[in-house]
Amino acid sequence: MKPIRQESIKYENINRRIPELRPYDSINARQEGQAVQALKQLYAYGMPIVLSSLADTPCVDLGIDGLLESFNKVLCTRYNLTQHLSDLSKSYISKRYDFGTAFAHFRRRYSNEFKRRNRETMDRKMREEVLVEDIIITPRVPPRRVWDLYSNRVVPWWLARKTPWAISQAWMDEKDREPVLTAINGREWPVPIPKDSDLDVVRADMINLGAEYVWLDVLCLRQGDDEKDYVRIAEWKVDVPTIGYVYEMADRVVYYFSGLGRPFTAEEHDLGSNRSWFRRAWTLQEISKHPIIGGTSIDNATVYEMLPAKFREQLLWLEKIAQRIFKQTDVFVVLSHMRGRVSTKPRDRIAGLAYLLRPQIIPAYYEAQSEEDAWTALVNVIAYDYKVPMLFLYPEPGNGNEIWRRSWDQVMNGSLPSHNPHLHDAVTWNRKTNTNSYEAYFIGSALVRGLDREEKRGKPRRGEFIVKNKVTGTDHRFKIVAAHQYRIADGRYTIFSCPNKGLHSEEWRYWVCGRMRAGKRFEKESVFQMPYFVDVGRLKALKHK
């Protein structure tokens, strides 16, 4: 009898600044103003936060003296009006900042204008140079923007330069959310939020948890806007594929399973809904080893103990993924997790895989790109040891852009083979020629037979291949098996296996058969295995090439 798996979810005990603070208790928190009261409590507690009424005040209305007075009040300081502070205040007024924006700059102490401009220039240069044609040359790109919770303003990364927290949310159905123009992001685009929630709720909750800067997709990733959609399209080329790095670098990740800023209620959560956090394609890369459940003031470990069994199972499943997926060498496990997930745009399931498949470079994001083209672009750049199993373990040729591996449709709808950890060689992509290659132990002509028949489901088919010793002219037979049910017609094929391995290397068991075409292009037909190492020794001794 197998032992029962011990539950070991890694929920940390978060020391909230004000444990009894509950900004999200009301289902209509925005109308009842609970979030504003919570922010006032946090300010009284000693947090250097700017209330919205002050943050929205134009600096020109405050004047130089009023700016300094407000800075001192929020920061609990006693700065005197020096020439430097006077010049700084004048610059905020001339740039038409409101107080929130001015405070976001002032508190970072970038009083040296040259240093500030240099950081801004370097950040802009980095984002321009990281995209070469249609490739992002490094996946480790920091977020373009973060939400400064103290000033209540979205600021550029170069200004904050501090590791943010991140928020992962279940997007509500379109009928349950509304676009809101807010000064928080400078009214750059409408921010979609649940109708019964508010960004002040999220702000108060995050500050109380201990966050200072946070990345929130609806605020920090440019959303749809008819007037500036060309800007969004350009930014998304880099910003969308590198979202995974934002969650990896984040100090903490807070999960709003019931919707952004909404109270956490497992009982109302439909785990089978297409809107469930557990079924969305993007959230797969947002998994953290140390999650924090947002929307509750109860300790996370206590919340977990109170959850219904089905919800606990989902969280334990996430824990398992978090422990394995970022160190995962089994490409089929990663793909299997995406198969049950959904996205508004079908090709986004592919974009959601990019960071998980450990590429050194990442394809840029193009909304108009087909699923198969997006899949091809991703497979070209993923880790080498993720590509070899696709070549040696998928039994049938691809029916999309490439024959050597499955199309996206085949991956999502067909059965996935079992991974073999011994397949480590590299299928390499040549960017200039846009071709994939593999250095193999190669037999130009072998007669393969015995695998063109059906067996009972699950039973391996047995056959043989025959090669000729070119010195003696003698035929030599070698036993082979096919663990799959894809039929291989009797005939002559080019076959290959892993190169330069030891006699008893597990990789020598795996073979691909197909035909050579013009231009040294190989057209895959199927795969089989050699079950006996003694046959491997005989084969290596032959002069068959």
59-93: per-residue pLDDT in tens? 999 999 999 999 999 999 999 999 989 999 999 99
Pair 356, 286: CB distance under 8 Å: no
Average pLDDT over every residue of 234-261: 94
Structure tokens that stand for 473 in this block: 């002219």
Q: Which residue has the tokens 């919340």?
A: 303
Q: Alpha-carbon Rg of the chain, whole angstroms? A: 29
Q: What is the domain partition of the chain in residue ranges?
A: 58-120, 130-327, 439-541
The single-letter DSSP state of residue 458 is T
3-class secondary structure per residue, 175-237: HHEEEECCHHHCCCCCEEEECCCCHHHHHHHHHHHCCCEEECHHHHCCCCCHHHHHHHHHHHH
Average pLDDT over every residue of 188-198: 94
Q: What is the pTM of this model?
A: 0.91
Longest dimension (CA), the chain: 100
Angle among Cα 33, 39, 41 to the nearest 5 degrees reads 105
Question: Edge-to-edge strands of the sheet including 362-363?
Answer: 131-132, 135-136, 362-363
* pLDDT for residue 2: 34
* pLDDT for residue 113: 73
- Give bridge partners of residue 167 from the DSSP assignment: 254
* pLDDT for residue 3: 32
324 Cβ contact partners less than 8 Å away, ≥ 6 residues apart: 333
| Per-position DSSP letters for 113-145, written without gaps between them | HHHHHHHHHHHHHHHHHTEETTEES-S----SE
* pLDDT for residue 545: 53
Count, in order, helices (H) and strands (E) of the chain: 20, 19
Structure tokens that stand for 343 in this block: 């996205």
Structure tokens that stand for 2 in this block: 């197998």
523 Cβ contact partners less than 8 Å away, ≥ 6 residues apart: 397, 403, 514, 515, 516, 517
**Each residue of 353-400: pLDDT tens digit?**
998 888 999 999 999 999 999 999 999 999 888 899 999 999 999 999
